Amino acid sequence: MKATINNAKEKMTKSLANLDKEFGAIRAGRANPAILDKVQVDYYGSPTPVAQLASISVSEARILVIQPWDKSCLKLIEKAIQASDIGINPTNDGSVLRLTFPQLTEERRKELCKSVKKIGEDAKVAIRSIRRDTMDKLKAMKKNSEITEDDLKDCEKKVQDLTDKYCADADKTVTAKEKEIMTV
C-alpha cells in the first residue's frame, strides 16, 4: 500500500523533472546550453551529443560559445547545429563557434507561451494518469481483500493530495517560464 503511493510519488516527480527538461530546451531569447541537448554530431560514425565534444558556455546574455576539445570536429558541430531545428546559424572563427540568440518579437513570445502552456498541460495530464493508475491498483487491492475500505479511503485521499500538489507545482513552473519568456 505504501509502496504503491511511493511509486506514484516517484513517477509524478519524474513528470515534473521532464517538464523542467522540456522547458530548458525552449529558446526564450537568452543563451541556454540546454538548447543543444538534442543536437547530435556524427563523430566517427556514431551520433554524439555536442556537450561530449565541446565545452559550452554563456559568454553574454544572448551568446553561447562552443569550444570543441578536438579542433577537427568544429566543422562537424557546425553542420549538426545547422541541420538541427534550433533555428540559429553558428558563427565559426576557426577555434570556437558562437551562437547569437536574436531578440524575440512580441508575436514569437506569445507563441512560445502557448507552447509552454501546452507542455505544462501535458505534464498535468501525465500526473493525473499516474493518479488513475494508482487508484486502480488500490481498488484491485481492496477487491482482493489486501486492504480494508478505510485503508482505501485514506490512500485515495493521499494520492489525491499528491496529485493536487504536483499539478500546482507544474502550474508554478509554467507561470515562471511564461514570465521568463515575456521579460524583454
Cell of 74: 568544429
Of 76 and 35, more confident: 76
State percent of the chain over pLDDT 70. Answer: 98
Let me know: does 123 contact 18? Beta carbons within 8 Å.
Answer: yes
- Name which of 29, 4, 6, 18 is nearest 108 in CA terms: 29
What is the third-level CATH fold of 33-100? Answer: Gyrase A; domain 2 (3.30.1360)
Mean pLDDT over 138-155 rounds to 90
Domain ranges of the chain: 2-24+105-182, 33-100
φ, ψ for residue 68 (rounded to 5)?
-70, 145
User: Of 30-44, 122-136, 139-153, 156-170, which gets the smallest average pLDDT?
Assistant: 30-44
The reply to whether 2-24+105-182 and 33-100 are identical in fold is no
2-24+105-182 placed in CATH 1.10.3720.10:
no
- What confidence score (pLDDT) does residue 164 get? 95
- What confidence score (pLDDT) does residue 167 get? 95
Residue 184 has pLDDT above 70, yes or no: no
Alpha-carbon distance of 5 to 100, in angstroms, equals: 46
CA 48 to chain centre: 20
- Name which of 73, 64, 82, 66 is nearest 42 in CA terms: 73
Please write the tens of the pLDDT for every residue from 106-119. 888 888 899 999 99
Strand partners, 49: 40
Mean pLDDT over 148-170 rounds to 93
Mean pLDDT over 153-175 rounds to 94
The overall pTM is greater than 0.75 = no
- What confidence score (pLDDT) does residue 27 get? 66
Let me know: does 34 contact 64? Beta carbons within 8 Å.
Answer: no
- Name which of 23, 27, 183 is nearest 101 in CA terms: 27
Let me know: does 73 contact 53? Beta carbons within 8 Å.
Answer: yes
φ, ψ for residue 65 (rounded to 5)?
-110, 125
Cell of 20: 523542467
Alpha-carbon distance of 80 to 62, in angstroms, equals: 20
Please write the tens of the pLDDT for every residue from 18-55. 998 888 777 666 777 888 888 889 888 888 898 889 99
Q: Which residue has the cell 538534442?
A: 38
Mean pLDDT over 91-102 rounds to 88
